[in-house]
Structure 1
Amino acid sequence: MMDSLWFVIVLVLLAVVSVALVLVLVLRREELHGGRETRTEYLQPNYGQTGGFRVASTPNNEIIIPYRYWLIEGCVSEIDYNIVPGRRMSLRTAKQGQMLYPAGFFDLAFEDVQQYEIDGITVTQRQNAGRITGISWARDGYEYLLYSMQPEMNMVVGLAVEFVTNTRAEPVV
């Protein structure tokens, strides 16, 4: 009788410790993600007073059409694009070391991660077939992330040269 009582007590203690450990891990993960982003919409990608920079040039043609400009958390620019025919993608720009990645960007391991050069710039491509895909690069003290949550096959990679060669950010004083 006494042995079974100790056995039950040990099981209850193990259950309590397990639940506490799971809660700590879950709450810590939520803390790292931080919840929803604070976004401010702009009429053009000039975030001078708040962000201290502007996106001076980006692709803009009959296939790549910017339609919305955001400043996220006061430090990251996001330009949303319509890609003809009927696709969407976004370009994030931030000062070096201040990039904020979209929610869920690193939740799943990417099936394909590659690095290559475009116009002398090292580009990192992260891809999951039919799911989030992105390319990132850095130039002149700024980081860039071009991504799509539901891309067409090779859409982001196909537009990489256009964005890497034509996108520039600069400080605003």
Structure 2
Amino acid sequence: MVDSLWFVLTLVLLAVVSVALVLVLILRREETCPARETRTEYLHPDYGQTAGFRVASAPISEVILPYRCWLIEERVSEIDYDIVPGRRMSLRTAKQGQMLYPTGFFEYAFEDVQQYDIDGITVTQRQNAGRISSVSWVRDGYEYLLYSLQPEMNMIAGLAVPFVTNTRVEPAV
């Protein structure tokens, strides 16, 4: 009788310790997860009242179709694009030194990083085969990041020229 009582007590103690361990692991995992971005959707990329700037020009064509404008954390703009046929791409802009990169952007080392000039602007291109690819540059005190989470082969390189040459951010007046 005493042996079975100790056996039951041991099982209960093991159950309590197991539950406590699982709770600690879950709570610790939640602490290390980054917080979600605060996003506000806009009809046009004019963030003058909140962020102090607007996207004055960006490429639009039958292949490059903007469909949504955001302001992230009240300081970074993002315009989401449909790239025909069936791909997506985003353009982020921010005052120099305030850029926020997408979640997981630097999580994996990029397989290919290159720098080259487009229209007198130094561009940094980062690529991973079949995963996130980007082009970033700085102009007139603003940072630009054109990226795709699931690009087609050479999609970023092909679109870098129209975005670098035709995208301008200016202070709101």
Q: TM bucket by the smaller chain?
A: 0.7 to 0.9
Separation (CA, whole Å) in 2 of partners of 1:28 and 1:162: 41
Confirm or deny that 1:131 pairs with 2:150.
no
SS class of match (2:162) = helix
Aligned pairs (5 A) from 1:95-110? 95-110=95-110
Q: Distance in 2 between matches of 1:38 and 1:156?
A: 27
SS at match of 1:46: coil
**Matches of 2:166 and 2:142, distance apart in 1:** 14
Unaligned runs of 5+ in 2: 1-27
Structure 1 residues 27-106: aligned runs within 5 Å? 30=33, 34-106=34-106
Q: State the Cα distance separating 1:26 from its structure 2 match.
A: 7.4
Structure whose CA Rg is larger: 2
- After TM superposition, the structure 1 = structure 2 runs for residues 109-120 of structure 1, keeping only pairs within 5 Å, are 109-120=109-120
For 2:117 and 2:31, the matched residues in 1 are separated by 36
Structure 2 letter corresponding to 1:165 = T
Tell me the alpha carbon deviations over residues 34-75 of structure 1, each in whole angstroms, 9 at most, x when there is no partner: 421000000000001001000000000101000000000000
CA distance in 1, matches of 2:76, 2:132: 19
Distance 2:78 2:164 in 1: 15
Q: Which residue is equivalent to 2:23?
A: none
Mapped to 1, the partners of 2:156 and 2:90 lie a distance apart of: 10
Distance 1:51 1:76 in 2: 8
Give the share of equivalent positions with the same residue, in percent.
77
Matches of 1:35 and 1:155, distance apart in 2: 30
In 2, the alpha carbon distance for the partners of 1:125 and 1:27 equals 33
TM-score normalized by the length of structure 1: 0.81
**Shift in Å at residue 27 of structure 1?**
8.3
In the alignment, the residues of structure 1 paired with residue 111 and residue 30 of structure 2 have an alpha-carbon distance, to the nearest angstrom, of 27
State the TM-score, normalized to the length of structure 2. 0.81
> How far apart in 2 are the matches of 1:115 and 1:103?
23
* 2-structure distance, mates of 1:27, 1:108: 21
User: Given residue 153 of structure 2, which amino acid in structure 1 is its aligned partner?
Assistant: M
Q: State the SS of the aligned residue for 1:92.
A: strand
Structure 1 residue 29: Cα displacement: 5.7
Amino acid at match of 2:144: Y
Q: What is the letter of the counterpart of residue 107 of structure 1?
A: E
Aligned residues: 147
The letter for the 1-side match of 2:81 is Y
